[in-house]
Amino acid sequence: MTRVLYPGSFDPVHNGHVELIETAARLFDEVVVGTLMNPSKGGGLFTLEERMELIDECFAHLANVSTMMFDGLVVTLAQQVGADFIVKGLRAVSDFEAELQMAQTNLVISGMHTIFLPTASRRSFLASRLIREVSRLGGDVSEMVPEPVSRRLAAKVGSSDR
57 neighbors 15 (Cβ within 8 angstroms): no
Q: Which of 23, 79, 105, 110 binds ligand PNS (CB under 6 A)?
A: 105
Q: Does 9 bind ligand PNS (CB under 6 A)?
A: yes
Q: Does 47 bind ligand PNS (CB under 6 A)?
A: no
Q: Does 38 bind ligand PNS (CB under 6 A)?
A: yes
CB under 6 A: which stretch of 21-29, 32-40, 58-66, 149-157 binds ligand PNS?
32-40
- CA-derived radius of gyration, the chain: 15
Residue 17 bears catalytic tag: yes
* Residue 146, preceding peptide bond in cis (omega within 30° of 0): no
Classify residue 71 as exposed, middle or buried by CB count within 10 Å of its CB (0-12, 13-18, 19+): exposed
Closest CB to ligand PNS among residues 103, 141: 103
123 neighbors 116 (Cβ within 8 angstroms): no
Q: In what order do the strands lie in the sheet with 30-36?
A: 65-70, 30-36, 3-8, 85-90, 114-118
Residue 91 bears catalytic tag: yes
Query: For ligand PNS, which residue has the nearest CB?
Result: 8
Neighbours of 124 (CB within 10 A): 16
Q: Which of 68, 90, 102, 134 binds ligand PNS (CB under 6 A)?
A: 102
Q: Which of 7, 12, 16, 146 binds ligand PNS (CB under 6 A)?
A: 7
* Residues in contact with ligand PNS by the rule CB under 6 A: 7-9, 36, 38-39, 41, 73-74, 102, 105-106
